[in-house]
Chains A and B, each alone.
Chain A
Amino acid sequence: MSFLRSADVGYRRFLMTDRILDIQNLKTYFHTQEGVIRAVDGVYLSVRRRKALGIVGESGCGKSITSLSVLQVIPSPGRIVDGRVLFYPEAESDRPVDLAQLKRHGRELRRIRGKDISLVFQEPMVALSPVYTVGNQIIEALRLHEPHSKRRARELAVEMLDKVGIPNPDVMVDRYTFELSGGMRQRALIAMALVCGPKLLIADEPTTAIDVTIQAQILDLIRSLQTDMDMSVMLITHDLGVIAEMVDDIVVMYLGKVVESGSLHDIFDRASHPYTVALQRSIPRFQRRGQPLEVIRGNVPDPYTRPQGCEFAERCPKAMNRCFQDKPAMAEVGDRHSAKCFLFTDEVESAPGREANVR
């Protein structure tokens, strides 16, 4: 019996489908005076252990709110209204912690924040407090979770700053954020997130304010930590180049929902959903200087109203009649590759909870 179970675990390892994070039907809404903003509206995604998941999608589609929901650090008046955020700290065979069920201000969640799961926030210019030194904030993160002496913590902070490519780290550790350029702040922020050696790093646009050579350095660092420290990564970025270099799996979001998910190659070579296809066409390429780029027509609809049919129908070059009436279900288009589009299925999106789990 026990033999069988361990064999089972081994087999799962072999398949490498051991997940560290599994988000099911996550809904995070903002109840404002003007109406309800469904920022995240039924997201399914999972991050495999030691692997990197990339999230791409249009600005405002709910990527950041999804990532903030994992740790329940959503700005008010946002609230998780439904769904599960299952976290498997050691192995998927363990009982998961449903992070969405923990109390927002409770101790249990606090122990996970910054230690098991850490977050690199999108806006580096304002994500660090202006009235404390960089070192103070990194040391605080460290000492909240590990019982280091102040001196030792400082040494570790300096070490981390050095690792993320900040020059003169022993001087910079005592600088305030307003003394640093945008790129430096971003690196300091990354250093703070990595200082406790998290099992899962959620990085929201971690390299937007950084030049390419330092970006390469930081991406290298994240990758090496992934193997050395068994870290898993959830990476949000607009830069498909970074995605291509960094991740194993990709989730494409549109208007608070996942519209396509699959492996890196699935998405780059066999993009199925018309939105994913359009997204790829809009990247500037080296050979086509000065020519207009292909754009997706129209704009993201306003956040208070949701179309009756498929969210993307209005802007979709392949929209059919029924796209304006019904919402398509998530359909398998390949092995572990699915898309939410009537081109691949006739099924209509089912009641919440019964949607195909993307694996």
Chain B
Amino acid sequence: MASYIVRRVLMMIPLLVLVSGVIFIVIQLPPGDYVSRHVARLEMEGVVTHEAEIEALKRRYGLDRPVHEQYLLWVRAMLRGDFGYSFAVRRPVLSVVAERLPYSIIISVATLLFSWVVAFLVGTYTATRQYSPGDYIASFLGFLGLATPNFMLALILMWIMYSVFGFTVGGLFSPEYQDAPWTMGRVLDLLKHLIIPVIVVGTAGTAGSIRILRANLLDELNKPYVITAEAKGVPPFRRLCKYPLRVALIPFTSTVGWELPNIVSGETITAVVLSLPTVGPMLLRALVDQDMFLAGSLILFLSLLTLVGTLVSDLLLAWLDPRIRYDR
């Protein structure tokens, strides 16, 4: 197992190289280099730029070198923490991202956990109580969740929260905590504000996961090895957990890898509706503005998140299923 983990982690290196290469190409795609574009934009706004200044900028980003050197420079800069300059916001990319990425990560991870826990509990319950009222209710809610667009759900929940609990939602903090230092109160406030985004972003994925787990578990429940376990006297709950559930979790777990990017993209619209300070809307704007350094960095961070997601799911899978550990 230990050697599998190390091998799997090492495997991420070539993947990272590949991803960064693709992103670099994306940054390079628009015609002209971004310094010239920046300069053009500045000139359009009536700002006078000096030849020397432009040259300095170009040198700084290595635009006078061949492409592969530019790539290496770009990577080296990133490794040093220099992600370039956002010409649209006129701030270093890192500071822009650092402001928002943590919230994105918090929402994504919270959503994932929420989605897992609910899907695990409901999926297991509905499979073991097939055709019971609870099963039907869960299925109905699941369909509803799959079919309702996220922004609609967000609006409905906002309205409910407001009219029933008298609780204004939107943003991640109440005004009094907006710029306050981190205290227990601020954390609680954050958690309170997380509820709606997590439900909104997670619902569709959760409903899907429930269906996957339920179907797989139903398949496994009548398998001969489960009957063998029952026939040797394993108590019901332990039997369920040790035998069919573990096998049914295998396909469920492998969805985690692609669940994360789904969450991030699903979050974008929700973030707009709920005015959340996350990277989704910012990425959108960066792409529209052709603010390529910012967009590239954001995509890079999101890819990294996905890679980590698949890593986690692969490690879980290897733990669940020895066949994977043994390369079969």
Contacts and interface: CB of A to CB of B under 8 A. Distances in A.
Contacts of B225: 126-130
Contact of B233 (A110, A123, A133): A110
Given A122-B224, A144-B234, 13 more contacts: A75-B227, A110-B235, A114-B232, A118-B232, A119-B228, A119-B232, A129-B247, A130-B322, A131-B320, A131-B322, A131-B323, A141-B233, A189-B228
In which size bucket is the chain A interface? 35 or more
B43 interface: no
Given A121-B224, A126-B224, A128-B225, A71 B231 contact: yes
Nearest to A128: B225
B177 interface: no
Interface of B: 221-225, 227-236, 242-243, 246-247, 320-323, 326, 328
A73 B326 contact: no
B230 A113 contact: yes
Given A178-B323, A189-B228, A144 B246 contact: no
A121 B223 CA distance: 11
Contacts of B221: 76
A144 B230 CA distance: 12
Interface of A: 68, 71, 73, 75-76, 105, 110-115, 118-119, 121-123, 126-133, 140-141, 144-145, 176, 178-179, 189, 192-193
Main SS at interface, chain B: helix
Given A130-B323, A131-B247, A176-B322, A192 B224 contact: no
A111 B328 CA distance: 37
A131 B246 contact: yes
Contacts of A113: 230-233
A129 B229 contact: yes
A153 to B, nearest CB: 13
B135 to A, nearest CB: 14
Nearest to A189: B228
B224 A123 contact: yes
Nearest to A106: B236
B70 to A, nearest CB: 49
23 contacts: A68-B227, A68-B231, A71-B231, A75-B227, A113-B231, A113-B233, A118-B231, A119-B228, A119-B232, A121-B227, A121-B228, A123-B224, A126-B224, A129-B225, A131-B323, A132-B242, A140-B234, A144-B232, A145-B233, A176-B322, A176-B323, A176-B326, A192-B228
Contacts of A115: 233
A119 B231 contact: yes
B224 A114 contact: no
When A and B form their complex, which 6 residue pairs have the shortest distance between CB atoms, in order from nearest? A114-B232, A113-B233, A114-B233, A119-B231, A141-B232, A129-B225
Most chain-B Cβ atoms within 10 A of its Cβ — which of A126, A129, A189?
Answer: A129
Given A129-B247, A131-B321, A176-B323, A75 B222 contact: yes
